Amino acid sequence: MDKRPIGVFDSGVGGLTVAKQIIKMLPHEDLIYFGDTARVPYGSKSRETVTKFSEQIIRFLLTKNVKAIVIACNTVSSNCYESLSGTFSDLPIIEVVTPGVESCLKATKNKRVGLIGTQGTVSSGAYEKRLKNADSGIQVFKKACPLFVPLAEEGWTDNEIARLTVREYLTELVEKDIDSIILGCTHYPLFKATIGEFVGEKVTIVDPAKATAVKLKEYLHNNDMLTDNEGEGRREFYVSDNYANFDKICESVLHYTCRAEKVDIENY
């Protein structure tokens, strides 16, 4: 049994949607979350820059003696996973793209799939490549939705501005007769209700967060790394820049009192 905490990180608040599923599935595990609020968004930055940021965050989480890392960010997962796995070869690292692909393959019936994400994720081709490797008949219709991240960081996910933005971005995908849509950014599940209202019941919304939590649980179980704690796990939250919305959104997503501590991540 391994009582060390699980480390989870993202560019900002989006990864809280993954943390929520991990806490739900592994309630006894301690969890440490880092949101890079000073440098959000990642989607418009180069692969080299995002890799550098991710390495700094992982080095910080290692000071907290984490037993595994969950990259709760599609931009990092799709662009930097192999590099990070090589740099930190002794550390189990779980990414979100593979679980998202597996969930989509189960969801689609007509093999017409929509993918929304940051520019970095969409441009990487990671989802499209893996989907087509699994089923060459799948058609992927992609759309970068860069405004979703700042809107989510602002907490504007269920108002008229959010609805207008969803309509502007997703109209062309719905017109392609997609039957499923992958939320290829961990910020996007915060818009799940608004997106669902627009795309309707005929389109399945694929959120990789739950499948990621399942994959993490399987890994910890198979490697005898689950804790034997019986009570609720401890949660810690860290950010690279304090701002009021993080704690507010954290509490809204997790239903947990969040008091994030600022870390000078450039020192790692």
Cα distances (Å, whole numbers) of residue 123 to 14, 100, 119, 143: 20, 17, 6, 10
pLDDT of residue 64: 97
pLDDT tens for the chain, residues 1 to 268: 889 999 999 999 999 999 999 999 999 999 999 999 999 999 989 999 999 999 999 999 999 999 999 999 999 999 999 999 999 999 999 999 999 999 999 999 999 999 999 999 999 999 999 999 999 999 999 999 999 999 998 899 999 999 999 999 999 999 999 999 999 999 999 999 999 999 999 999 999 999 999 999 999 999 999 998 788 999 999 999 977 789 989 998 998 888 999 999 999 9
Beta pairing partners, 239? 35, 262
Please state whether 111 falls in left (phi above 0), alpha (psi between -120 and 50) or beta.
left
What pTM did the predictor assign? Answer: 0.92
The pair of three-digit structure tokens given for residue 189, joined into one six-digit string: 């599940």
Nearest C-alpha neighbor of 147 from the set 176, 168, 128: 168
| Residues with a known catalytic role | 73, 185
Distance CA 204, CA 9 (A): 27
